[in-house]
Amino acid sequence: MSRFFEVVRRDLRLALRQGSDSLMVVTFFVLTVVLFPFGIGPEVGILERVSAGVLWVTALLASMLSLDRLFQADYEDGSLELLVLTPTSLMVVVMGKVLAHWLTTGLPLLVAAPILAVLLHMNSDGFTVLMLTMLLGTPVLSLIGAIGAALVLGARRGGVLVSLLILPLYVPVLIFGVGAIDAAVQGLSAEPHLLILGAMLAASLPLAPWATSAALRQALE
Interface contacts to another protein, rule CB under 8 A: 2-3, 6-7, 10, 13-14, 17-18, 76-79, 81-89, 220-221
Q: With beta carbons less than 8 A apart as the criterion, state whether 32 and 62 touch.
A: yes
Q: Is the Cβ of residue 22 or residue 58 nearer to another protein in the bound state?
A: 22
Q: Is the Cβ of residue 6 or residue 125 nearer to another protein in the bound state?
A: 6
Closest approach, Cβ 82 to another protein, in A, equals 5
Q: Is the Cβ of residue 18 or residue 128 nearer to another protein in the bound state?
A: 18
d(CA 25, CA 219): 26
Q: Is the Cβ of residue 57 or residue 84 nearer to another protein in the bound state?
A: 84
Closest approach, Cβ 103 to another protein, in A, equals 17
Q: Which residues of 140-175 are buried (b: 16+ CB within 10 A; e: fewer)?
A: bbbbbbbbbbbbbbeeeebbeebbebbeebbeebbe
Q: Is the Cβ of residue 83 or residue 153 nearer to another protein in the bound state?
A: 83
Closest approach, Cβ 91 to another protein, in A, equals 12
Q: Is the Cβ of residue 13 or residue 43 nearer to another protein in the bound state?
A: 13
Distance of CA 23 to the CA centre of its chain: 14
Contacts of 111 (CB under 8 A, 6+ apart): none
Closest approach, Cβ 94 to another protein, in A, equals 13
Closest approach, Cβ 102 to another protein, in A, equals 20
Closest approach, Cβ 84 to another protein, in A, equals 7
